[in-house]
Chains A and B, each alone.
Chain A
Amino acid sequence: MNSFSSNQHGVGLQVRGLRKSFDGQEVLCGLDFDVQPGEIFVIMGPSGSGKTVLLKHLIGLEEPDAGEILIEGQPILSPEVMSKFRMAMVFQSGALLNSLTVGENVGLYLTEHRLGSPEEIARIVTEKLEVVGLKGAEEKIPSELSGGMKKRVAIARALVIDPQLILYDEPTSELDPLSAVVIAEEIVHLKDRIGVTSLVVSHDRDLAFGVADRIAVINQGRILTIGTPDEVKRHPDPLVREFLHADFKRHASPLEQRKIEYEKHH
């Protein structure tokens, strides 16, 4: 990661037989899947299905008990690969450094790795903040921002690396529907604009079917299905159908039922 020159090509990711246990409890039970360069791949599943643990393996924050993760065919855990390919992660909470301003957060990678003069870094920060619609927010501190703004700053911080692969952890959780739409548009816009490979972990069905090129549904550390949004929608597995079609319906109270019956008869 020695320069921040523009890169127009995303990288492919391969996961082979990935297993991980915590205190004897198996969280990932041999996952196998490929993410194609430049695609938006969404991993869906209920809470506690192992999505975030998988994501931490993909960015190198956790080491698997077995199996391997390859980027363009090379194991991710080797230091050369980590420095050869540019990967960024947008955390669920944004994970902005609270002691720094928005501008310092976005430019942190460049500042710490000395990849430009202060003026050049400031220019790049302004440019990336503009991309996510937060122009002029450089001097704000993270605690002044709403949840949606924090996530957009986190995306701007990821963009500074000029990534070939972006991992999103629950990008629309805790957001109102309008902010969720902005984030979803951002994910698609980035793919179209810089061809970055995006791997999104989410249990938000609207987001998944709205942005995904392909979707994997995961439950209890196992992949139930992988396919295009249409293929996944039509999948016959009862667990997949239950997850995709779960809906809340309020049962009518006895008084409301009598009212409905009365209206039917009259």
Chain B
Amino acid sequence: MFQNIGEMVLLFWRTLVALPLTWRQRAKVFDQLFEIGPASLLMVCILSFFIGGVMALQTGPLLVERGLGNYVGGVVGFSIAKELAPVMMAILIAGRIGSAMAAEIGSMRVYQEIDALRTMNINPIHYLVLPRLVAIAIALPMLVTFAILVGWVGGAVVASANDRIAVSFEAFFSGLRDTVALKDVANGVFKSFVFSLIIGVVSCHQGLITRGGPRGIGRSVTKAVVNSIVLIVIFDYLLTRVLLK
């Protein structure tokens, strides 16, 4: 385990050092961005809309019963912006994009494509890891920003449509504006940026250390997703603790 952590830190460092080469690899970055963004957008919309709705459904009646209906928008908006959108979207992207990264790089490793790159003096980190890491680091925060907005709308729709809550759109967003500051949204987006690096590094690392045939690729994909989710949850706590100050 410690060897893996060491290798991942090293991979991250080597990718950071290679950042000045991003412009040269821009075509691959755009390819990856299109792979991540449009393909995930619909899922992000559905997921965040219903997360917002569920949050409104869970908290709305409790707050309204206690005469705190004005706070429904604030509670829903705050929890979506700071916690639910970044974490849930990161988990979604780990499953959707992290797995694809590990599978693609893993199969390239198994079928000697990475060896072929090295014999041509092409650094696999520059060619494969850098574009993926840059693309996911751009795409996930954008998706999370979008998810926050859609989640708020989902919460507002449910809050106004549900008889037990019956908080209007205006009241919902008014409460939200009073409670949620821009800093809170920025915190959530920043978290998602860190999560994107975790997903990118873990998935690319798992791909690069893939051994064996199709079974090895399958194992790498599973490890990439599971390890990403575990690290996302751990880092979520650590970041929340740090950002609380």
Contact residue among B24, B107, B119, B122 (Cβ-Cβ distance under 8 Å from A87): B119
Q: Which residue of B lies closest to A113 (CB)?
A: B121
What A residues does B119 contact at CB under 8 A? 59-61, 87-89
Contact residue among B104, B108, B116, B127 (Cβ-Cβ distance under 8 Å from A91): B116
Q: Which of A68-76, A92-100, A175-183 contacts B (4 or more CB under 8 A)?
A: A92-100
B77 to chain A, nearest CB (A): 42
Q: Which residue of A lies closest to B120 (CB)?
A: A109
- For the complex, is A122 an interface residue (Cβ under 8 Å from B)? no
What A residues does B117 contact at CB under 8 A? 97
In the complex, which residues 96-135 of chain A have their Cβ closer than 8 Å to any Cβ of chain B?
96-99, 108-109, 112-114
What B residues does A98 contact at CB under 8 A? 107, 111, 113
Bound Cα distance A145, B44 (Å) = 38
CB–CB B116/A95 < 8 A: yes
- For the complex, is B240 an interface residue (Cβ under 8 Å from A)? no
What B residues does A97 contact at CB under 8 A? 108, 113, 116-117
Bound Cα distance A112, B117 (Å) = 10
Bound Cα distance A56, B119 (Å) = 10
Contact residue among A95, A112, A114 (Cβ-Cβ distance under 8 Å from B115): A95
- For the complex, is A3 an interface residue (Cβ under 8 Å from B)? no
- For the complex, is B58 an interface residue (Cβ under 8 Å from A)? no
What A residues does B108 contact at CB under 8 A? 97
CB–CB A112/B112 < 8 A: no
Contact residue among A61, A83, A96, A114 (Cβ-Cβ distance under 8 Å from B118): A61
CB–CB A95/B120 < 8 A: no
If A93-B111, A95-B115 touch, does A108 touch B121 (CB 8 Å cutoff)? no
What A residues does B118 contact at CB under 8 A? 60-61
- For the complex, is A1 an interface residue (Cβ under 8 Å from B)? yes
CB–CB B115/A96 < 8 A: no
Bound Cα distance A56, B122 (Å) = 16
Bitwise, A1-13 to B at CB < 8 A (1) or not (0) is: 1000000000000
What B residues does A161 contact at CB under 8 A? 120
B110 to chain A, nearest CB (A): 10
CB–CB B121/A82 < 8 A: yes
A53 to chain B, nearest CB (A): 13
Q: Which residue of B lies closest to A100 (CB)?
A: B113
Bound Cα distance A91, B107 (Å) = 15
Bound Cα distance A114, B127 (Å) = 14
CB–CB A95/B122 < 8 A: no
What A residues does B127 contact at CB under 8 A? 112
CB–CB A109/B122 < 8 A: yes
In the complex, which residues 102-154 of chain B have their Cβ closer than 8 Å to any Cβ of chain A?
104, 107-108, 111-113, 115-122, 127
Bitwise, B3-27 to A at CB < 8 A (1) or not (0) is: 0000000000000000000001000
CB–CB B122/A89 < 8 A: no
If A97-B108, A112-B127 touch, does A61 touch B115 (CB 8 Å cutoff)? yes
What B residues does A1 contact at CB under 8 A? 121
CB–CB A93/B112 < 8 A: yes
Bound Cα distance A1, B112 (Å) = 22
If A97-B108, A112-B127 touch, does A91 touch B120 (CB 8 Å cutoff)? no
What A residues does B121 contact at CB under 8 A? 1, 82-83, 109, 113
CB–CB B120/A108 < 8 A: yes
What A residues does B112 contact at CB under 8 A? 91-93, 95
B26 to chain A, nearest CB (A): 13
Bound Cα distance A59, B117 (Å) = 12
If A91-B116, A95-B116 touch, does A112 touch B122 (CB 8 Å cutoff)? yes
Q: Which residues of B does A touch, CB under 8 Å?
A: 24, 104, 107-108, 111-113, 115-122, 127
Given contacts A61-B115, A91-B115, A97-B113, 17 further A-B contacts (CB under 8 A): A1-B121, A59-B119, A83-B121, A88-B119, A89-B115, A91-B112, A92-B112, A93-B111, A95-B113, A95-B116, A96-B116, A97-B108, A108-B122, A109-B120, A112-B127, A113-B122, A114-B24
Sampled A-B contacts (13; CB under 8 Å): A56-B115, A88-B120, A89-B115, A91-B112, A91-B115, A92-B112, A95-B113, A95-B116, A97-B113, A98-B111, A108-B122, A109-B120, A157-B120
